[in-house]
Protein backbone atom coordinates (compact mmCIF):
# COMPACT_ATOMS: atom_id res chain seq x y z
CA UNK A 1 0.00 0.00 0.00
CA UNK A 2 2.86 2.36 0.78
CA UNK A 3 4.30 1.76 -2.68
CA UNK A 4 1.00 2.82 -4.23
CA UNK A 5 0.96 5.99 -2.12
CA UNK A 6 4.48 6.80 -3.26
CA UNK A 7 3.52 6.20 -6.88
CA UNK A 8 0.52 8.51 -6.59
CA UNK A 9 2.71 11.21 -5.06
CA UNK A 10 5.07 10.98 -8.03
CA UNK A 11 2.13 11.06 -10.45
CA UNK A 12 0.71 14.14 -8.72
CA UNK A 13 4.07 15.91 -8.98
CA UNK A 14 4.29 15.10 -12.69
CA UNK A 15 0.75 16.34 -13.32
CA UNK A 16 1.44 19.57 -11.43
CA UNK A 17 4.47 20.20 -13.64
CA UNK A 18 2.42 19.52 -16.77
CA UNK A 19 -0.38 21.78 -15.52
CA UNK A 20 2.07 24.63 -14.92
CA UNK A 21 3.21 24.41 -18.55
CA UNK A 22 -0.25 23.87 -20.06
CA UNK A 23 -2.84 26.21 -21.49
CA UNK A 24 -5.80 27.17 -19.31
CA UNK A 25 -8.08 24.54 -20.88
CA UNK A 26 -5.62 21.73 -20.29
CA UNK A 27 -4.82 22.97 -16.79
CA UNK A 28 -8.39 22.22 -15.73
CA UNK A 29 -8.04 18.64 -16.95
CA UNK A 30 -4.76 18.19 -15.09
CA UNK A 31 -6.11 19.67 -11.86
CA UNK A 32 -9.18 17.44 -11.97
CA UNK A 33 -6.92 14.40 -12.28
CA UNK A 34 -4.72 15.73 -9.46
CA UNK A 35 -7.79 16.08 -7.23
CA UNK A 36 -8.83 12.50 -8.02
CA UNK A 37 -5.39 11.15 -7.18
CA UNK A 38 -5.20 13.19 -3.98
CA UNK A 39 -8.59 11.88 -2.90
CA UNK A 40 -7.51 8.28 -3.52
CA UNK A 41 -4.26 8.99 -1.70
CA UNK A 42 -6.08 10.48 1.30
CA UNK A 43 -8.40 7.47 1.53
CA UNK A 44 -5.52 5.03 1.28
CA UNK A 45 -3.57 6.96 3.94
CA UNK A 46 -6.54 6.75 6.30
CA UNK A 47 -6.83 3.01 5.74
CA UNK A 48 -3.10 2.48 6.20
CA UNK A 49 -3.12 4.49 9.43
CA UNK A 50 -6.06 2.45 10.71
CA UNK A 51 -4.36 -0.83 9.81
CA UNK A 52 -1.20 0.25 11.62
CA UNK A 53 -3.25 1.26 14.66
CA UNK A 54 -5.08 -2.07 14.69
CA UNK A 55 -1.82 -3.95 14.26
CA UNK A 56 -0.36 -2.11 17.25
CA UNK A 57 -3.44 -2.88 19.33
CA UNK A 58 -3.33 -6.56 18.40
CA UNK A 59 0.36 -6.75 19.21
CA UNK A 60 -0.30 -5.53 22.76
CA UNK A 61 -2.76 -8.32 23.58
- The pLDDT of residue 2: 85
Output the pTM of the full model: 0.79
| pLDDT for position 30 | 96
What are the residue ranges of helices labelled H in 22-59?
A: 24-59
- In eight-state DSSP terms, residue 60 is T
pLDDT at 47: 94
Is residue 34 a contact partner of residue 19, using CB atoms and an 8 Å limit? yes
- Going from the C-alpha of 13 to that of each of 4, 53, 59, 61, the distances in angstroms are 14, 29, 36, 41
Q: What is the pLDDT of residue 58?
A: 85
For 2-61, what is each residue's pLDDT tens digit? Answer: 888 999 999 999 999 999 999 999 999 999 999 999 999 999 999 999 999 998 888 875
The Cα–Cα gap between 13 and 58 comes to 36
Amino acid sequence: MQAQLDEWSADIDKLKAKADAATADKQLEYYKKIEELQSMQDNANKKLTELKRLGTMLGKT
